[in-house]
Amino acid sequence: MRSHRHAILFIALSAAAVALLVCDLLTGTTPIPISQIWASLAGSGASDEYAVIVRELRLPKAVMAITAGIALSVSGLQMQTLFRNPLAGPYVLGISSGASLGVALFTLGMPLLGITAGSAASAIGITGMAWTGSAAILLLVMALSRRIKNINVILIVGMMLGSAISAVVGILQYVGTEESLKAFVVWTMGSLTNVTHADLLFAVPIVAAGTALGVAVIKPLNMLMLGENYARSMGLGVRRARTMIFLSTTLLAATVTAFCGPIGFIGLAMPHLARMTFRTADHRILMPASMLWGVVAMLLCCVVCDIASRIGVMLPVNTITSLLGIPIIIAVVMRNRNSAS
Amino acid sequence: MIELRDIRLSFGQRTLIDSASATLRCGTITALLGRNGTGKSTLLRAMASLGDVQRGEIRVDGRPLRKMNAAETARRIAFVDTSRIHAENMSARELVAIGRSPYTDWLGRTGAEDMRIVDEAMTTAGVAGLADRMVDTLSDGECQRVMIARALAQTTPVILLDEPTAFLDMPNRYELCTLLQRLAHRQGKCIVFSTHDLDIALSLCDEIALIDSPRLHHMPTRQIVGSGYIERLFSSPYVRFDAATQSITLTETAAEG
């Protein structure tokens, strides 16, 4: 009965993902007929102009959206289970703050290095520094967590570190030039538009590795739902599991943040959507379900952005993900409170 | 079988238990008694390898606990405490099935044999009827029994329980402790549980381990009643232990109000 329901949901979500992928490839500032899209992807019979748009712009963007949807959802699910907190998400350990510190430092230094905003060098610099900043924060949190037994203390430390770094970033913005400030703000709004094949060559394998690690901790996550004490009493090496989960989350969230900027609420909301629709606590189901929901949500956001851009409104992807994710979070929290009382 | 060999346990700088030795055998049920804050939980956690031992050694089936990894320990010792499980969308049967973790593969897949053990554990713990209920809809008493079924599904010779009767009403307390006694006597398990229910401990348990900081007195129930330890430990201006009736009575001070 239950597995029947799961199968139907998996099929429906996959179908929705494929449909949205087609929509995403179809939409954009230049109208392209579906036959030309197919021809461009197949590599024959398409006009050069269309082929370039589809292959160099739309396809990389769609692949990055799928990658981001998977990465954020998997890391959000891991954080919610590890911290046993429905409001935990990929950024709870300060990953996005670390990334923003890296980007703030870079954009501030850009004029000194003679790099202009929007150039290839600035794109590489922003990505590299975002990743470096995230990784630095994670190393700090992991080093501190070795000395902390209580998982909630780690959560608080991560959030406080994040807030402290945000304050430093604020100072940096204050002293920065107008140009560097603009470059920074543009990054914080998140974007999928300037994705290149080279970006994908870097991002996809790292996210694949992070996802593989995520799959490897499915059993530990199921055990951790009962709390760390019970998990340990049932044979889980809790420290090792924690390290693997942190590592997976950083690979996933930091990479996406580096390339697309901080994308809010997908990682927070999609695991909840997976729980609500699949009605299970088993991570063997929840993990792929969250991934699929993440893919659907990100592609949907992209389509919305594309349609908006066609009528001349350039929406940052972050605003759309927030508008989509926040109602879901509110619904979940209210439902939980109601059933608990 | 669990052996404590001259162990010392501390909480921060404070020594709770010192030079404690005891042998807890299979087929017996032992109640761990002691005033609040004297180290009952600390001792149980140390025995479950969830806490540190400052000196001495704990052995399980003759092997030092310290030298076992988490997976080896999990096949010998199951642990139950009072923390409630807040998991959305998890049925009681699924929760009990997580108890099979020490035996399942990397993905935690349970086979037919695992599920047979799970169902048997639920029947033994008297929660077979709750199998499809969601965990967050269970009452405290039901939840405690489901957690015990989970410990049974772990198929360990030793089960340690930290205040399993804490949130239960009187009939549920006796029912639960009778279940624990059956597990010890019929299935030959070594059951150790901490409790403040003196009457239950004295009427249902084979042995008593009593923490009289920093000493640990471990002896058969009959012997401890006559030893005078209980009188000394639980005496206050308000209550007094009566060895003849094996019960706590109010003193005149308390009666006068």
Residue-level pLDDT at B193: 97
Which residues in chain A are contacts of B70 at CB distance < 8 A?
Answer: 232, 235-238
Per the CB < 8 Å rule, is B102 touching A234?
Answer: yes
Read off φ and ψ for residue A44, nearest 5 degrees. -145, 145
CA quadruple A130, A135, A138, A139: dihedral sign: negative
Buried residues in B194-211 as b, exposed as e (16+ CB within 10 A)? bbebbebbbebbbbbbbb
- Hey, of A85, A218, A233, A278, which one would you mutate to test binding to chain B, going by the most B CBs within 10 A of its CB? A233
Name the minimum distance, in Å, from the CA of A133 to any CA of chain B: 33
Mean pLDDT (chain B, rounded): 92
Q: What is the spatial distance between Cα A265 and Cα A73, in angstroms, rounded to a whole number? A: 9
Residue-level pLDDT at A1: 59
Residue-level pLDDT at A41: 86
What structural domains and CATH numbers belong to chain B? 1-76+157-171+182-223 (3.40.50.300), 87-155 (no CATH)
Element (H, E) at A57: none
Q: Please count the helices (runs of H) and the strands (runs of E) in chain A.
A: 15, 0
Residue-level pLDDT at B31: 97
Per the CB < 8 Å rule, is B88 touching A275?
Answer: yes
Which residues in chain A are contacts of B72 at CB distance < 8 A?
Answer: 235
Which residues in chain B are contacts of A84 at CB distance < 8 A?
Answer: 86
Q: A101, A169, A95, A107: which is closest to A135 by C-alpha?
A: A95
Name the minimum distance, in Å, from the CA of A318 to any CA of chain B: 29
Report strand pairing: B14-24 vs B55-60. Answer: unpaired
B37: DSSP letter: T
Contact status, residue A285 vs residue A10, Cβ threshold 8 Å: no
Percent of chain B with pLDDT over 70: 99
Amino acid identity of residue A196, one-letter, is: T
Residue-level pLDDT at B93: 96
Contact status, residue A255 vs residue A199, Cβ threshold 8 Å: no
Which residues in chain A are contacts of B102 at CB distance < 8 A?
Answer: 234-235
Long-range Cβ pairs for the range B17-21 (8 Å, 24+): B17/B42, B17/B43, B17/B211, B17/B213, B17/B214, B17/B215, B17/B216, B18/B214, B18/B215, B19/B56, B19/B214, B19/B215, B20/B56, B20/B215, B20/B216, B21/B56, B21/B216
Judge whether B98 is closer than 8 Å to chain A, CB to CB. yes
| Residue A215 backbone zone (phi > 0: left; psi -120 to 50: alpha; other: beta) | alpha
More confident call, B80 vs B248: B80
The rounded radius of gyration (Å) of the Cα atoms in chain B is 19
Per the CB < 8 Å rule, is A284 touching B108?
Answer: yes
Report strand pairing: B63-64 vs B55-60. Answer: antiparallel
Lowest-confidence region among A290-294, A310-314, B29-33, B78-82: A310-314
Q: What is the spatial distance between Cα A210 and Cα A222, in angstroms, rounded to a whole number? A: 18
Q: What is the spatial distance between Cα A285 and Cα A277, in angstroms, rounded to a whole number? A: 11
What SS3 string covers B119-134?
Answer: HHHHHHCCCHHHCCCE
The two three-digit tokens of residue B21, written as one number: 């030795």
Q: 3-state DSSP call for residue A166?
A: helix
Looking at domain A2-336, does it have CATH number 1.10.3470.10? Answer: yes
Q: Which residues pair with B217 in a beta bridge?
A: B210
* Highest-confidence segment of A124-128, B106-110, B232-236: B106-110
Residue-level pLDDT at A340: 45
Q: What is the spatial distance between Cα A268 and Cα A8, in angstroms, rounded to a whole number? A: 24
Q: 3-state DSSP call for residue B194?
A: strand
Positions in chain A whose pLDDT score sits under 70:
1, 117-118, 336-341
Which residues in chain B are contacts of A230 at CB distance < 8 A?
Answer: 79, 83
More confident call, A88 vs B182: B182
Q: Does the pLDDT at position B117 exceed 60?
A: yes
Of A216, A234, A281, the CB nearest to B154: A234
Query: What is the CA A205 to chain-centroid distance, rounded?
Result: 15
Q: What is the spatial distance between Cα A10 and Cα B65, in angstroms, rounded to a whole number? A: 45
Count of beta carbons in the 10 Å neighbourhood of residue B13? 5
Per the CB < 8 Å rule, is B85 touching A235?
Answer: no
Q: Does the pLDDT at position B121 exceed 80?
A: yes
**Omega of the bond leading into B214 within 30 degrees of 0 (cis):** yes
Name the minimum distance, in Å, from the CA of B15 to any CA of chain A: 21
Q: What is the spatial distance between Cα A272 and Cα A290, in angstroms, rounded to a whole number? A: 8
